[in-house]
Amino acid sequence: MIFIRHAIKSLMNRWLTVSLTIAVIALSILLILMVEKVRHGAKTSFINTISNTDLIIGARSGSIQLLLYSVFRMGDAINNMSWKSYLELKEHPDVAWTVPISLGDSHKGFRVMGTTHDYFDRYKYRSGQSLSFREGELTTKLFDAYIGADVAKKLNYKVGQEIIISHGLASFTDHTDRPFKVAGILNKTGTPVDRTVIVSLKAIEAIHINWQTGIQVKSNLTTADLEAMELPPKAITAALVGMKSRLKIFSFQRSVNNYKQEALMAILPGVALQQLWSIVGLGEKALIGVSILVIIIALFSMSAMMLASLSERRREMAILRSLGAPALFISSLFALEALLMTIIAALFAIALLYVLLFIAQPLIDAAYGIYIPISVLSSNELLIIPLVIFAALFVSIIPCYRAYRFSISDGLSIKT
């Protein structure tokens, strides 16, 4: 106890430099803990972009490619699947529900997706959360559109506003003859839904009914005429599928992959998301590397501070030697001071972490859709603290050795 008490008093006597050193170490530990929390939250949010969907069916390509254009609205489908095949697979006895998706058109840089009202019930994100409306509601009108939070924010759209859909992704041709009305604005989800304009599958067919090989042909059909028509699509881009039993997922997947009528494939979204994260998640390793580098710099700063204080503390060491303290006691005192500073810094960092999480969690979730849970430190995060403490003891070897040498020389001079 005397040993610890003396170390604490020594630190308090140099409270300004010690406080600054503790602050630097605490901020470096906070940085790596925040990176770990954000990394875990980002990965979880990414993996939970789509949940409670057992399979995604589309034209045969690659699992990541199918996931990109059906869920993330990126890229283009190599081919579409026919409506006939979709209906046949929908009637499979093991299938509980399906949601068709049709992509191809756009609105001012945002993807337009045609689907059914089932999409709002069946599409889940973040471990089962459903889509909800910030403004407006679902309607049965043919040319009503529902826009994501990012679309509404960037284009400053309100419920009731008319919008014009463009033909294709990079087309200068607009469907001016069939304007849509914003009937609802969805709440922020942190998924590609935020950047999507959702319309009915029937509406997609209706705006193309007077198009032939990409050229618009004048039509006298009114909106009432179109609403009265069936307008089944000839083809769709993909379909979300839910199974009656998870035990039947792989057998149904094989039957889709071996479908003889056309070349189709079925993917497990969770597996494809893990594969995609292994590609796009490389940046997290760079962030961890930078954080580790910051900690190393902070610890060496502590070592430099201890070395700089050696000359000031020669009198202290001489007094301790005159009282009979061995040189090893003095060098150990320096190691204990480094240990105490690191432990105090770690405690401050953990406390500050939870304060920042409490403040920033709703802001990050609303702005970026990354949900960072306020929970106890994980095993990986807890491992960071002893590793930093061990590293602090390691970098204190040089000042400890210098203190050992100084105390010996001062001890010898006192005896003479």
φ and ψ at residue 170, rounded to 5 degrees: -120, 50
What is the residue extent of each domain of the chain? 2-46+281-415, 55-267
| Burial of 18 (C-beta count, 10 Å sphere; 0-12/13-18/19+) | buried
From first to last of its 416 residues, what are the pLDDT tens digits of the chain?
Answer: 666 776 777 778 777 888 888 898 899 889 888 888 888 888 888 888 899 999 999 999 889 999 999 999 888 777 899 999 999 999 999 999 999 999 989 999 899 999 999 999 999 998 889 999 999 999 989 999 999 999 999 999 999 999 999 887 765 678 888 899 999 999 998 899 999 999 999 999 988 887 655 555 566 777 787 888 888 899 999 999 999 999 999 999 999 999 999 999 999 999 998 888 887 666 777 778 888 888 888 888 888 887 777 766 666 666 666 666 666 677 777 788 888 889 999 999 999 999 999 998 888 777 766 778 888 888 888 888 898 888 888 888 877 777 767 666 654 454 44
**Cα–Cα distance between 298 and 338 in angstroms, integer?**
12
* The model scores a pTM over 0.85: no
Q: 215-239: b or e for each residue (b if 16 or more CB lie within 10 Å)?
A: ebeeeeeeeeebeeeebebebbbbb
Amino acid 416: pLDDT: 42
Contact 167, 214 (CB under 8 A): yes
The helix or strand, by DSSP H or E, that contains position 10, with its residue range, turns out to be helix 2-13
Report yes or no: 283 and 71 within 8 Å, Cβ to Cβ: no
Distance CA 258, CA 410 (A): 85
Which helix (DSSP H) or strand (DSSP E) does residue 369 occupy?
none
